[in-house]
Amino acid sequence: MFRSFHENFSIIYRYRELILSLVAKELKARYRGSTIGVMWTFLNPLLLMLVYALVFSVYMRIEMENYSVFMFAGLLPWIWFSSSIMDGVNSITSAGPLITKSLFPAEILPMVKILSNLLNYIFSLPLLFIFMAWYDTAFSMAILWLPFVMLAQLLFTTGLVYFFSSLNVRYRDIQHILGNLLTLWFFLCPILYPLPMVPQNLKFTYYLNPMAVLTVGYQDIFINSKTPDLVSVLIIILVGLVCMLAGFRQFARNKETFAEEI
């Protein structure tokens, strides 16, 4: 297991310049042909936030101060996570001509999807800052912990993407199953509702849900102006490392059959 982790990591590091080049190409291609181009990086999460804000604050009447900021703080990292999973799970199957070239490093393809969505998240943060200023939400030194929480999410996401992208080459149903599971997973995270609304007898599901823990971490940083629960985030980092070990191992085991399956 550790050998496959080392091999995958070494390949990713060796081809880091190619990865960055493909990430730039991916971001350019994403908005090619659209009238407003890269502005969709801001508009997509903004429009999604407005829809949820309308439903939950107007129709369902969730009464919470600065609800839009609260929701946006959790929605942006979720978009990074879910987009990485859905883009990443198809990263091998959608690159058939490259995979059939024996010398092409397939290990870099999932990472390209993860990093391009990470950059989208980073590019959308100024929009969150504007909302915070508009609603007079104070900035604090807690924001210094943001990279720590992002690292936990990056490790966890990377493990899942490598694991499922390798399985999806043979079992194409996985991409469809994941799409539905992500919808359920989204509503199990305290993004549209505050954690205290969760019934006490169901609180244990929060502690079993890495993305729920990370969501509260982001909300602590941006909304509550306090340091996130570092023990919980550290546990997610350890879980993420285990996921990466499992994901890289699964990827290495299936890699030799990619060209045949595609």
The DSSP annotation for 140-166 comes to -GGGGGHHHHHHHHHHHHHHHHHHHHH
Q: In this predicted model, what pLDDT tens digit does every residue of 210-224 receive, in sequence order?
A: 999 999 999 999 998
pLDDT score of 32 more than 80: no
Closest CA to 243 of 154, 182, 147: 154
Judge contact between 87 and 113, C-beta under 8 A.
yes
Q: In this predicted model, what pLDDT tens digit does every residue of 120-160 receive, in sequence order?
A: 999 999 989 988 888 888 888 999 999 999 999 999 999 99
pLDDT score of 51 more than 70: yes
Residue 118 Cα distances to 23, 115, 191, 257, angstroms: 10, 5, 19, 29
Amino acid at 232: S
Closest CA to 144 of 225, 31, 239, 232: 225
pLDDT score of 1 more than 70: no
Determine the Cα–Cα distance for residues 224 and 119; give it in Å rounded to an integer. 25
Q: What integer is the mean pLDDT of 32-59?
A: 75
Closest CA to 132 of 121, 143, 122, 123: 143
Q: In this predicted model, what pLDDT tens digit does every residue of 181-197 receive, in sequence order?
A: 999 999 999 998 888 88
Determine the Cα–Cα distance for residues 196 and 188; give it in Å rounded to an integer. 13
Q: In this predicted model, what pLDDT tens digit does every residue of 97-106 receive, in sequence order?
A: 778 776 788 8
**What is the predicted pLDDT for the residue at 148?**
95
Residue appearing with tokens 């023990």: 231
Burial of 243 (C-beta count, 10 Å sphere; 0-12/13-18/19+):
buried
| Two structure tokens written together for 77 | 């990292």
pTM, to two decimals: 0.91
Judge contact between 145 and 108, C-beta under 8 A.
no
What one-character DSSP code corresponds to residue 256? G
Determine the Cα–Cα distance for residues 156 and 168; give it in Å rounded to an integer. 18
| 86: Cβ contacts below 8 Å, ≥ 6 apart | 175, 178, 179, 182
Determine the Cα–Cα distance for residues 81 and 186; give it in Å rounded to an integer. 10
pLDDT mean across residues, the chain: 88
119 or 62, greater pLDDT: 119
**What is the predicted pLDDT for the residue at 102?**
67
The domain locations on the chain are: 2-261
